[in-house]
Amino acid sequence: MLKLGVNIDHVATLRQARYAGRERGEPDPVEAALVCEAAGAHGITAHLREDRRHILDRDVKKLRESIKTRLNLEMAATDEMVAIAIDLKPDIVCIVPERRQELTTEGGLDVVGQSEPLRGCIARLRDAGIEISVFITPDPAQIEESARVGAQFIELHTGAFAEAFHRKKERQLEMQRLIEAAELAHRLGLLVNAGHGLNTQNLSALFQVPHMVELNIGHSLISRSILVGLPTAVREMLALMQHYPS
């Protein structure tokens, strides 16, 4: 069964738009996470960025205390974030690239170019009993290096597929890249997640990609929830995901 991890970052983005610098505010991303769980989500994803632009330290602590499903902490490979993760003990860490000027995470992690520091970071996290994923583009070299540095999962960046979705020829090319990437990862013993830019319009086309374990979806769910409510938005996505071939 294909699992749904709901990224709640943009619930915190909305809160910070008015309540930045205050001890509390609305909407509460932890409350949103619990609503998503009650609606059937299999896990919660939150990105604790170095600049704390949306999710805050207190949010991830409350998430760890409150949710009953799988907590996926997205983070940069820095000493500060590794220390936080080891203290927090999420179920899984997804290591992502991070640039201060970007609005959201754009592009995949350069595992090939950062293999040595990543190897040490991953070893420390795995020693603490935390599973490791790396957020990468569907590139064979990045997948092979992900296996070498000790990741257990890859999360395929589906942004290029989402951007090309309405251009048939480009979409087919991006789809083939994702299919080949998932097949290579599977041969190397890596588990395959995917995320970025996924929504109810493009999701069914992604089901051509084999071996996927979990989709991490945030922006489209939070956007849809403004119109229909968060439980309905989550259930709609789960209903679509039931058609993924097992």
Domain edges within the chain: 3-241
Reply yes or no on whether 47 is catalytic. Answer: yes
Q: Tell me what pLDDT residue 120 has.
A: 96
Q: How many CB atoms lie within 10 A of CB 168?
A: 9
* Catalytic hit among 10, 37, 42, 74: 74
pLDDT tens digits for range 2-29: 999 999 999 999 999 999 999 889 999 9
Alpha helices per DSSP H over the chain: 9-19, 29-38, 57-66, 79-88, 115-127, 140-149, 159-163, 168-187, 203-206, 219-228, 230-241
Q: Which two tokens stand for residue 74?
A: 């997205």
* Catalytic hit among 10, 42, 47, 157: 47
* Catalytic hit among 10, 54, 157, 196: 196
Distance CA 59, CA 170 (A): 39
CATH number of 3-241: 3.20.20.70
pLDDT tens digits for range 142-175: 999 999 999 999 999 999 999 999 999 999 999 9
Task: Output the pTM of the full model.
Answer: 0.95
pLDDT tens digits for range 68-86: 999 999 999 999 999 999 9
Reply yes or no on whether 157 is catalytic. Answer: no
pLDDT of residue 202 exceeding 70? yes
Span 198-220, mean pLDDT?
97
Confidence category of residue 104, pLDDT binned at 50, 70, 90: low
Q: Give percent of the chain above pLDDT 90.
A: 94
